[in-house]
Amino acid sequence: FIIHILSLSGKNQPKVRTRWSLALAYKAEDLIKAGKMEQGMILYKKSIKIWPKNARARKGLAEAYLKMGNINQSINTFGEIVNSNSLDWQGWAGLGRAQSLAGQNALAIEAFIKALEINSHYAEGHFGIGNIFFKENINIRAERHLMRTIELDPSITDAYIFLAATKIRLGKFKSATKILNQGLILNPDHAIGLIMRRELDVIKQ
């Protein structure tokens, strides 16, 4: 029905398609936020069908796939985004997150590096690659990227937790305690953070 209506819109069709597609994408976002995942994903797909270049809808769909645990579909969708626009740093970072969840850490690092080459001030990109370096026990590089994350966006609680854990590995216990306490100010109930605080208290005794 929608496609039929659009076919009758004449020379204004591109403008109508763009506006209609964006309206559907915004509605899909509202549905996703309300926990109505499947309904939101249906609207995202309709939005993309109407206007295939709608990057907002594709990113929303890719994020929805991640939340639903459909990692391969998320990787494919983020891949479509960066293939369409190789300068989309958010697309590259999203691809990196999805690849990391799939255990494809080498590919994820490449994706995050591309995101940061385009926008070196993208906090989520630094956090993503710092998180992977932490998991890979590449602690000096993890420390650098996690510190940069906090500099760019002090509201990312997990960056403090991972940075504190990295500093513990490096034997920097005083610095780890300071960073951890800053993170727990943001989220006093952070389970892993509270466990780390108890462990640091034991180390200091």
Q: Please, are residues 25 and 56 in contact by the beta-carbon 8 Å criterion?
A: yes
Residue 151 sits in the same domain as residue 194: yes
So what's the pLDDT on residue 203? 81
Assign 1 a pLDDT band (cuts: 50, 70, 90): very low
Q: How far apart are CA 138 and CA 142, in angstroms?
A: 6
Residue 110 sits in the same domain as residue 53: no
Q: Please, are residues 14 and 33 in contact by the beta-carbon 8 Å criterion?
A: no
Domain containing 102 equals: 72-116
The H-or-E segment that residue 185 falls in is helix 173-186
So what's the pLDDT on residue 14? 67
Per-residue pLDDT of 10-47, as tens digits, reads 555 667 778 888 899 899 999 999 999 999 999 999 99
Residue 96 sits in the same domain as residue 37: no
So what's the pLDDT on residue 150? 97
Assign 3 a pLDDT band (cuts: 50, 70, 90): low
Residue 128 sits in the same domain as residue 184: yes
Angle at 12 between CA 6 and CA 17, to 5 degrees: 45
* DSSP letter (8 states) at residue 9: S
Q: How far apart are CA 179 and CA 152, in angstroms?
A: 15
So what's the pLDDT on residue 51? 87
Q: Please, are residues 123 and 149 in contact by the beta-carbon 8 Å criterion?
A: yes
Q: Pick the closest to residue 145 from 157, 134, 161 (CA basis).
A: 134
So what's the pLDDT on residue 205? 63
Other C-beta atoms lying within 10 Å of the C-beta of residue 99: 25
Q: Domain total for the chain?
A: 3
Q: How far apart are CA 163 and CA 170, in angstroms?
A: 11
Residue 187 sits in the same domain as residue 129: yes
Residue 181 sits in the same domain as residue 106: no
Q: Is 2's pLDDT higher than 80?
A: no
Q: How far apart are CA 17 and CA 23, in angstroms?
A: 10
Average of per-residue pLDDT across 56-74? 95
What six digits make up the tokens of 130?
A: 């710092």
Q: Pick the closest to residue 180 from 66, 104, 195, 107 (CA basis).
A: 195
Per-residue pLDDT of 98-115, as tens digits, reads 999 999 999 999 999 999
pTM given for the model: 0.82
Q: Pick the closest to residue 9 from 53, 55, 56, 50 (CA basis).
A: 50
Residue 131 sits in the same domain as residue 199: yes
Q: Compute the mean pLDDT over every residue in the chain, rounded to the nearest whole number.
A: 91
CATH number at residue 142: 1.25.40.10
Cα dist from 57 to 23, 43, 60, 145, whole Å: 10, 9, 5, 29
Per-residue pLDDT of 116-163, as tens digits, reads 999 999 999 999 999 999 999 999 999 999 999 999 999 999 999 999
Residue 138 sits in the same domain as residue 186: yes
The per-type count for the chain, helices as H runs and strands as E runs, is 12, 0
So what's the pLDDT on residue 127? 97
